[in-house]
Amino acid sequence: MKTIIALSPKSGFADALQAALEPGRWRVIHHVDPWEKGLMAAVGAVDVLLVECQLTDVQPIRLLKTIKKLQPQAPVIVFADETRDEWIEEAYLAGANYILSKPIRHKLLALILDRLAPTTEMPAHPPPKAKLADDRSAPRESVQDVSRTLSTLRDLSRVLTHGLISDSLPKRFLELLREILGVNRAAIFLRKPFSVVSPVAPEAPTSRLRAACAVGLPHGLLEYFELSLEGGIGRYLHRFGRILRSDASELQNNPEIQKEFELLGAKVAIPILDQETLIGVAVFDERLTGETFSSSELALIFHALEELGLAIKNSWLRDELTHSHDLMTAILGQLTSGCVVVGQDLEVMHCNPAARRFLLGTAPEPPRRIQFSELPQPLGSRIYESIQTGASVAAFRHRPRENPELAYHVSIIPFKHQKDAHPLGALMVIDDFTQIQRSQQLEIEASNLRMVRSMAEHLSHEIGNALVPMSTHQQLLGEKYDDPDFRGSLSLALTQGIKRISRLSNQLLFLTRDDTPRHESIAAVKLVQDAFNDAQTLYGLDGRHLDIKNTAGSVAFEGNRASLLHALSEALLNALQSSPADSTITVQIDTEEEKETVWGKVQIVDRGPGFTPDLATKATNPFFSTRTVGPGLGLTVAKKIIENHHGHLTLITGEARGHVAIYLPLKNGNEANAKAFKNSHAGSFAPGKN
C-alpha cells in the first residue's frame, strides 16, 4: 500500500481522494497546516504529495519551492479551483508534476498516480514455477532446516506471551533468535516501562530507547548509546512501523540513520510493537555466511518480535501489580487500624496484623490465612449484609464477648466497579477505642467532680446567705422575743430565707428532670402576670412596673404550669435585677409562623445594659452570674424547662437593653386564634423597638 499526503484546509478533500482511489492500494493522510513542524521531513517518506490551493498568489509557489528544496524527488500534484496563467507557469517551474482542476476525476487521478508511483499487483493465483532439470539434485536437508527454523520461531512466539520476567525475557529471546538466524551482532532497545494500571492519566512516555540486551557488541558502546523516537532509526520505525534495511533507497539522504547502522554494525532494524504502540527496536546484522534475509523471513521475525512486545508489556504489568500489591500490603501492615477485606464469595482476601490481633489475639504474622467463619458473628453478619445489599454499614461499637472491657470502633464499606451492579467485596476497618473510651470516661468523671465542687461551693454560699439572718435572729430570740420590732424582723428573715432555699431546691429539681408532663392549658397573659408577681416578691424588688403588650389574643400554652411559671419567673427576675428602681419591664406576647409551626413568642425587655456577645454565650451556663448574690442557675433552669416543652430561649445581643425571647409551640385551636388576632392587630408591634 502506497501513501499520499493531502495538504488541504478542508477535511472533505482527503475523504474525496480516499473515495476516488482503489481500496487497499492507496492510503491518504490529511494535514491542514502545510508548515507544520516535521511535515516537510516526512514528505520524502510518502509516495505522492497532493496540494489543494488557489493559484492566484505567491503562497502556493513558495510551498512548492520549499517542498522541492527539501525533497527534490517528491512527486507533487496540485488541485486548484481558481488559476491564472502566470501562476500556473510558476507552479510548473517550482516543481509541480501535474496541475488539475476540480472536481476530482477518478480515472484521470488513478492514471496519474500510477505514472508517478506505479503499484505492483500480485496475481490472484500465481502460476506454478517451472521445474528445472537439476531440481532433483537440490539437497532436501536445506528444506528441512528451513522448516525446522520456522517451526521453532512459531513455537517461540506462542511461548513468549506467557513470559513475566522482564529482565531475562528479552535476553533469552535474543539468544534464541541469534542461534536460529545465525547472526553475529544483535541488540534490543526498549523504552522505559510506563504505568499500565494507574487510574491517573500517565505522563508522556520517554522518547529514549536504551539497550536492554545485546550480543556481539561492546558493552562500553551500549552503556552510553541510545536510540531516540525523535530522530534516526527510532523515529523512522515509530513513524512508519515497518522494517528498515540499511541499504534502503530512502536512507540516501538521511545520514543520521546511516551513522546509527554503522555504529551498531547492523543491517536490519525491526520495530517491537505491542499491537498498539512501539515499545522497542531490534537491530541485527546479516548471517555469518553473508547471506541477506528474505522478505518472508523478516516478516516472520517481525511477528515474533510483536509477540515479544506483548510479553514485555505483560511483564511490565505484572511488575507494576506486584509492586503495588507489595506496597499496599506494607502500608496496611504498618497501620494501627485493623483492615479486613472479604470477597464476594465470603473469602477473607486480606487481614492485616492489627486486625488479627484485635479479632483473634494471635501473633502479628500467623502462618495461615484466616477463614470467614473465624470472624466474630456480629461482625461477620454485618459484612454479609453489606455485600448482599451493597450499602455501607454505619460505624458502630463492638465489644468482644470474651473480653467485654475492650471497645472497637468498626465501619464496613462495600466496593465495586462502576459498571458492576453487585459489590465485589467489602472492607472492614477496626480501630481500638479502648484507651480513648477510658480517657473519655476519666474526663467525664473529672468533669463531674469539677461540677460537684462548683455546685457545692455555690450551694453552700447560697444556703449560707439564706441562713445568716435566721441564725442571727435565733441567737437573739431569747433576749428580744418580747420586742415587737424583733418579732417582725424575725418573721421577715424566716420568710425570705425559706423562699431562697425553696427556690434553690426547685432549681435543682428542675435541672434533674428530662421530661415535663404536658397536661395543662395556661393562658399566656395570666402566666406572665403571675410570674412577675413571684419574681417581684422573691427578693422584695418593689418599684418596678410590668407593661404587657399582647398582639396574639387569647393564646394559651400547653404544658406543666408550675414548670413554665418557674421558667418565666427566673427570666423576669433576671430582668428585675438588671433594671434600676422605678423602671418598667416590657413583655411582648406575639406569634411567629415558621414553615408548618406556629410559635408563641414572649419577649422580655428590661432597662439594663443588655447582653454582650460574650455574656450571651455564658449567661445560660450553670453557676454563672455577674452578681455576688444567687447561685447563677436562673437562666439555666429557665432554658432547660423551655427546651423540655420543645421550645427555645434566646438572648438577643447588640441592643442597649436586656432582651430575652422565649418561643413555645402552639397547637390545635391556639394556631387559628393566634393568626386571626394577629391579622386584626397587624402593624401594632415591631420586635425590639419598645
Q: What percent of the chain has pLDDT above 90? A: 7
Residue 637 exposed, middle or buried by CB count within 10 Å (0-12, 13-18, 19+): buried
Q: Band of the pLDDT at 280, cuts 50, 70, 90?
A: very high
pLDDT tens profile 137-183: 444 445 666 666 666 666 565 555 556 666 778 888 888 788 778 88
Q: Return the axis-axis angle of helices 484-512 and 434-480, rounded to nearest 10°.
A: 170
Q: Band of the pLDDT at 503, cuts 50, 70, 90?
A: confident
What pLDDT shows up at residue 205? 60
Query: Mean pLDDT lowest for which of 235-249, 267-281, 494-508?
Result: 494-508
CA angle 253, 254, 260 (to 5 degrees): 145
Q: Which CATH architecture has domain 147-319?
A: 2-Layer Sandwich (3.30)
Mean pLDDT of the chain: 78
Q: d(Cα 577, Cα 450) in Å, to the nearest integer?
A: 28
pLDDT beyond 70 at 675:
no
**Which stretches of 216-294 are DSSP H helices?**
219-224, 232-240, 255-264
Q: d(Cα 14, Cα 29) in Å, to the nearest integer?
A: 7
Same-fold call for 147-319 versus 335-432: yes
pLDDT tens profile 26-58: 878 877 776 665 565 555 567 788 888 888 877
Assign domain 513-680 to a CATH class: alpha beta
pLDDT beyond 50 at 650:
yes
Q: Higher-confidence residue: 233 or 502?
A: 233
Confidence (pTM): 0.43
Please give the span between the terminal C-alpha atoms of the chain, in angstroms, as a whole number: 96
| CATH for the stretch 2-116 | 3.40.50.2300
pLDDT beyond 70 at 131:
no
Closest to 97 in 3D by CA, of 120, 68, 59: 68
Q: Higher-confidence residue: 32 or 650?
A: 650
pLDDT beyond 60 at 689:
no
pLDDT tens profile 209-223: 998 889 888 877 888
Q: Higher-confidence residue: 434 or 679?
A: 434
Q: Are strands 26-31 and 2-7 parallel, antiparallel or unpaired?
A: parallel
Assign domain 335-432 to a CATH class: alpha beta
pLDDT tens profile 392-445: 888 999 988 888 888 899 999 998 877 777 888 999 999 988 888 888 888 887
What pLDDT shows up at residue 35? 63
Tell me if 525 sits within 8 A of 548, measured CB to CB.
yes
Grid cell of 208 as nine digits: 529514549
**Region 437-460: what's the mean pLDDT?**
75
| Residue 278 phi, psi dihedral angles, 5° rounding | -85, 125
Cis (ω within 30 of 0) for the bond into 613? Answer: no
pLDDT beyond 50 at 134:
no
Q: d(Cα 122, Cα 295) in Å, to the nearest integer?
A: 15
Residues written for the chain: 690
**Region 230-240: what's the mean pLDDT?**
90
pLDDT beyond 80 at 76:
yes
Q: Count the alpha carbons within 13 Å of 608 in the hemisphere toward its beta carbon.
A: 21
pLDDT tens profile 556-615: 888 888 888 888 888 888 888 888 877 888 888 888 887 778 888 898 888 888 888 878
Residue 281 parent element (H or E): strand 278-284
Closest to 350 in 3D by CA, of 369, 366, 335: 369
Ordered by start, the domain boundaries in the chain are 2-116, 147-319, 335-432, 437-508, 513-680
Query: Mean pLDDT lowest for which of 48-57, 448-457, 517-526?
Result: 448-457
What pLDDT shows up at residue 41? 54
Query: Mean pLDDT lowest for which of 4-13, 139-148, 261-270, 654-663?
Result: 139-148
Q: Band of the pLDDT at 628, cuts 50, 70, 90?
A: low
